[in-house]
Amino acid sequence: MASFGFRGTRIELGPGESALDALDRVGIPLKSGCRSGVCGACIVRVTKGTVPADARRGIAPVLTAQGAAFACCLRPTADLELDDLDGGLEHRARIVALETIGQDVLRMRLACEGNFDYTPGQYVVLQRDDGLERSYSLASLPGDATLELHVRRTIGGAMSSWLFDGARPGDGVGLRGPLGTCCYTPERQDGPLVLVGAGTGLAPLFGILRDALNRGHTGPIQLFHGARDTNGLYYRAELLAIASAASNVTVRGCVLEGPTPDPSVRVAPLGDAVASVFPNLAGCRVFLCGDGSLVRSLKRRFFLAGAASRDLLADPFDAAALPARKIAAGPCN
Amino acid sequence: MTQLFERLGGAPAVDAAVDLFYRRMLADPRVAHFFEDTDMDAQIAKQRAFLTMAFGGPHSYTGRDMRAAHAPLVARGLDDLHVDVVIEQLGASLAELGVDAATIAEVAVIAESVRADVLGR
């Protein structure tokens, strides 16, 4: 009978037992829910061995590429090594550059020790050496020399204050990741993509947009960047450069407070700006990134406007907390 | 897999129905307030699990699970009317997908079977 290692223990599987059954039997706690390969509570990572197809049906491709599997459906016929979904993803990195790229927006470039493979749109947990941790989405592409993160200065923010005022190139940090599933997948490549970002929510979209183009997306891509006022619409030149080089890309800025010297920037809330172009979002794949409560409310609004739940990928930024991650895409979305 | 689940089309049928059903719930003023502060992903996963059960598919719900999960809602006024709405909207979603009335009735019987546990009776 097959066995698996998990959290330092080797467990033999009994006949017909799933990994979850076996863990329950030996008293190792693993969260579970439906126990039927639907809810995603018991997803683990297979770090050595092959994942049987029926143990990963419905899990986001970004996660299955990292070995994700439902413990409740995992009945392997050969030995495996398992880890928690976000276990064993610790890295060390060095700050290479810190540059202001907009009002209260800092671009941080990091060089990771060793190989760091990720899909654009994923995020990392940045760890200062005293243990302070915050999550930031990746704005870079895996082929780039460094990892790129965008940081907003938050008033009284412990991590952002350090990054803006204390951190220096050469400083070492810890990184956990990559985590998250707000990523482009190369299917339905002639379909419409809608990228919606508030403030530094542009960071993962900047990676996702270029990733989609690099992977041959031919359908129309519309990117909406929202900010309080025009000072908050950073990276405008970079976005317009991408739009002028790719005929299927349109970028739109919108602000809550005018005036806007640029006539192509609307004064409108982000959700309204999207709704005026897409009153119905059926058939669109939507990527939604930025402030957590705005993202959650727009996600609901776009769902009610016809976007399929599996086509609504969100990266909600929550203050001083790790963002809830979406475990599964596709059937379990 | 039960015969009913197979007849309905299995997991792909759940996929097709869950968005329709959940949109109906969010847009129905009789029940929408129960979903106000909920995380959409978590809710979709729960609805997917519920539909799988109602379609005769695999699940591990116990009466205690249903009771415990819905107790906070019962405290907020969840009652027979709301369970009626769920069964009604489930039927309407299936009708929209072209499922025949007899099969819808079978699904309704399964959904009905958890009423007492959901309402903590």
Q: A218: helix, coil or strand?
A: coil
pLDDT score of B60? 75
Is B45 in Cβ contact with A303 (below 8 Å)?
no
Q: Are B57 and B11 in contact (CB under 8 A)?
A: yes
Contact B39 A39 (CB under 8 A): no
Amino acid, single-letter form, for residue A198: A
| pLDDT score, position A329 | 38
Nearest Cβ partner for B40 among A34, A299, A308 = A299
Cα separation of A158 and A165, whole Å? Answer: 11
Q: Is the distance from CB of A37 to CB of A72 less than 8 angstroms?
A: yes
pLDDT of residue A327: 44
CA proximity to A229, closest of A268, A203, A200:
A268
The pLDDT assigned to A192 comes to 98
What share of chain B in percent tops pLDDT 70? 99
- A304 vs B44: CB contact, 8 Å cut-off? no
CB-based contact B27 A332, cutoff 8 Å: no
Confidence of residue B69 (pLDDT cuts 50, 70, 90): confident
The per-residue pLDDT for A39 is 75
Count the neighbouring beta carbons within 10 Å of the beta carbon of residue A46: 23
Average pLDDT, chain B: 91
pLDDT at residue A55, rounded to an integer:
93
Contact predicate A212/A285, CB 8 Å = no
User: Which phi-psi region, left, alpha or beta, contains residue A330 (left: φ > 0; alpha: ψ -120 to 50)?
Assistant: left
Confidence of residue B64 (pLDDT cuts 50, 70, 90): confident
Residue B63 has pLDDT above 80, yes or no: no
d(CA A254, CA A233): 8
| B49/A contact by beta carbon, under 8 A | yes
- pTM score, whole prediction: 0.87
Q: How confident is the model at residue B1 (pLDDT cuts 50, 70, 90)?
A: low
Which stretches in chain A have pLDDT values below 50? 322-333
What is the pLDDT at residue A211? 98
- Sheet order of strands, A43-48 included: A9-12, A3-6, A80-84, A43-48, A68-70
pLDDT, mean of residues B37-60: 87
Q: Decide: A232 and A189 in contact? Cβ < 8 Å.
A: no
* CB contacts < 8 A (A, B): 61
The predicted-structure confidence for B77-91, as pLDDT tens digits, reads as follows 999 999 999 999 999
* Chain A contacts to B (CB-CB under 8 A): 33-36, 38-40, 57-58, 296, 299-300, 303-304, 308-310, 312, 314, 324, 326, 328, 331-333
Q: Please indicate whether, in this complex, the C-beta atoms of B41 and A332 are within 8 angstroms of each other.
A: no
B 66-95 residues with CB below 8 A of A? none
pLDDT tens for each residue of A89-116: 899 999 999 999 999 999 999 999 988 9
- All domains of chain B, ordered by start, with CATH? 4-118 (1.10.490.10)
Q: Please give the ipTM for the structure prediction.
A: 0.89
| Interchain CB distance below 8 Å, B26 and A304 | yes
Q: What per-residue string of b and e applies to A275-296 under the rule 16 or more CB within 10 Å gives b?
A: beebeebeebbbbbbbbbebbb
Option in B27, B44, B49 nearest A309 (CB): B44
Positive or negative torsion for Cα A299, A304, A305, A308: positive
pLDDT of residue A59: 86
